[in-house]
Structure 1
Amino acid sequence: MSSGHGADSAPAPNRHDDTRTTSLTVKGGMFRSLRVRNYRLFATGQVVSNTGTWMQRIAQDWLVLSLTGSSAAVGITTALQFLPMLLLGLYGGVIADRYPKRRLLLFTQAAMGVTGLALAVLTLSGHVQVWHVYLTALALGVVTVLDNPARQAFVVEMVGPADLRNAVSLNSANFQSARLVGPAVAGVLISALGSGWAFLLNGLSFLAPIAALLLMRNGELHKVDRAPRGKGQLREGLQHVAGRPELIWPIVLVGFIGTFGFNFPIWLTAFVNDVFHADASAYGLLNTVMAAGSLAGALLAARRGTSRLRLLIGAAAAFGLLEVMAALAPSFWVFAALLVPIGMCGLTINVTANSGIQLASDPALRGRVMSLFMMVFMGGAPLGAPLVGWVTDVYGPRVGFLAGGVVSLLAAAGIGLALARAGDLRLKVDLRRGHRHVAFVAREPSARQEAVTTAA
Structure 2
Amino acid sequence: MLARATSGWIVFRNGDFRLFGAARFLTGLAYQMQAVAIGWFVYDLTRSALALGLVGLASFLPAMLCALITGHVADTYDRRLVAALAFGVQAAASLALFAVAEFGTGAVWPIYALVIAVGTARAFANPALQALLPTLVPRDLFGPAIAWNASLWQSASVLGPALGGFLYALGPAVVFGGAAFSFALASALVAAIRFRPAPVTERPPVSWATLSAGIAYIWAQPVVLGAISLDLVAVLLGGATALLPIFAAEVLHVGPLGLGALRSMPAAGAVLMAIWLAYRPLQRQAGLRMLQAVAVFGAAIAVFGLSRSLALSMACLFVTGAADMISVYVRQTFVQGETPDAMRGRVSAVNTVFIGASNELGEFESGTLAALIGAVPAVVAGGLATVLVALLWGRLFPALKARDRLLTQA
Q: TM-score normalized by structure 2?
A: 0.83
What SS does the corresponding residue of 1:305 show, helix, strand or coil? coil
Please list, as runs of the form range in 1=range in 2, the aligned pairs for 1:338-349 lying within 5 A after superposition: 338-349=316-327
Contact 2:297 2:324 in 1 (8 A): yes
Partner of 1:303: 279
1:320 aligns with 2:295: no
Contact 2:98 2:177 in 1 (8 A): yes
1:256 aligns with 2:218: no
Contact 1:98 1:229 in 2 (8 A): no
Partner of 1:198: 175
Alpha-carbon shift at residue 65 of structure 1 (Å)? 4.5
From 181, 185, 205, the equivalent of 1:229 is: 205
Partner of 1:412: 390
Contact 2:231 2:358 in 1 (8 A): no
Partner of 2:146: 168
Please list, as runs of the form range in 1=range in 2, the aligned pairs for 1:108-147 lying within 5 A after superposition: 108-121=86-99, 123-124=101-102, 130-147=108-125
Are residues 67 and 170 of structure 1, via their aligned partners in 2, closer, same or farther at CA, if it must alter by over 3 Å?
same
Partner of 1:186: 164
1:104 aligns with 2:109: no
Rounded to whole Å, the distance in 2 between the matches of 1:390 and 1:104 is 34
Alpha-carbon shift at residue 102 of structure 1 (Å)? 1.1
Contact 1:253 1:412 in 2 (8 A): yes
Alpha-carbon shift at residue 54 of structure 1 (Å)? 2.4
Are residues 55 and 28 of structure 1, via their aligned partners in 2, closer, same or farther at CA, if it must alter by over 3 Å?
same
2:236 is matched by which residue type in structure 1?
Answer: T
Partner of 1:368: 346
From 123, 126, 130, the equivalent of 1:148 is: 126
Partner of 2:12: 34
1:286 is matched by which residue type in structure 2?
Answer: L
Rounded to whole Å, the distance in 2 between the matches of 1:423 and 1:121 is 48
What SS does the corresponding residue of 2:136 show, helix, strand or coil? helix
What SS does the corresponding residue of 2:212 show, helix, strand or coil? helix
Partner of 1:16: none
Rounded to whole Å, the distance in 1 between the matches of 2:303 and 2:99 is 47
Rounded to whole Å, the distance in 2 between the matches of 1:75 and 1:320 is 20
Query: Please, which runs of 5 or more residues in structure 2 have no aligned partner?
Result: 406-410
If you compute each CA radius of gyration, which structure gives the higher value, 1 or 2?
A: 1
Partner of 1:430: none
Q: How many residues align?
A: 399
Contact 1:247 1:360 in 2 (8 A): no
Deviations 1:260-312 (A, max 9, x none): 122343378448735xx543255444333333212212222222335732322
Are residues 128 and 43 of structure 1, via their aligned partners in 2, closer, same or farther at CA, if it must alter by over 3 Å?
farther
From 9, 26, 32, the equivalent of 1:48 is: 26
Alpha-carbon shift at residue 29 of structure 1 (Å)? 5.0
Rounded to whole Å, the distance in 1 between the matches of 2:155 and 2:49 is 27
Are residues 270 and 123 of structure 1, via their aligned partners in 2, closer, same or farther at CA, if it must alter by over 3 Å?
closer
Query: Please, which runs of 5 or more residues in structure 1 have no aligned partner?
Result: 1-24, 427-438, 441-456
Alpha-carbon shift at residue 365 of structure 1 (Å)? 1.5
Rounded to whole Å, the distance in 2 between the matches of 1:405 and 1:302 is 28
Deviations 1:114-173 (A, max 9, x none): 212233345445678544323221111111121111111111111232222222222222
Identity of aligned residues (%): 25
Contact 2:62 2:123 in 1 (8 A): yes
Bigger helix share: 2
Partner of 1:60: 38
Partner of 2:64: 86
Contact 2:235 2:386 in 1 (8 A): no
Asked which structure has the greater RCO (Cα within 8 Å, sep 6+), the reply is 2
Partner of 2:270: 294
Contact 1:225 1:364 in 2 (8 A): no
What SS does the corresponding residue of 1:28 show, helix, strand or coil? helix
1:103 is matched by which residue type in structure 2?
Answer: L
Alpha-carbon shift at residue 36 of structure 1 (Å)? 0.9
Rounded to whole Å, the distance in 1 between the matches of 2:74 and 2:162 is 34
Deviations 1:229-277 (A, max 9, x none): 3421133222211111121111111111121122343378448735xx5
Contact 1:268 1:286 in 2 (8 A): no
2:349 is matched by which residue type in structure 1?
Answer: S
RMSD: 3.4
Partner of 1:215: 192
1:234 is matched by which residue type in structure 2?
Answer: L
Q: TM-score normalized by structure 1?
A: 0.76
Rounded to whole Å, the distance in 2 between the matches of 1:197 and 1:279 is 21
Partner of 1:279: 254
Alpha-carbon shift at residue 100 of structure 1 (Å)? 1.7
What SS does the corresponding residue of 1:229 show, helix, strand or coil? coil
Rounded to whole Å, the distance in 2 between the matches of 1:290 and 1:42 is 23
Deviations 1:74-111 (A, max 9, x none): 44333222211122223311221222211211211111
Rounded to whole Å, the distance in 1 between the matches of 2:201 and 2:341 is 7
1:288 is matched by which residue type in structure 2?
Answer: S
2:175 is matched by which residue type in structure 1?
Answer: A
Are residues 159 and 81 of structure 1, via their aligned partners in 2, closer, same or farther at CA, if it must alter by over 3 Å?
same
What SS does the corresponding residue of 2:169 show, helix, strand or coil? helix
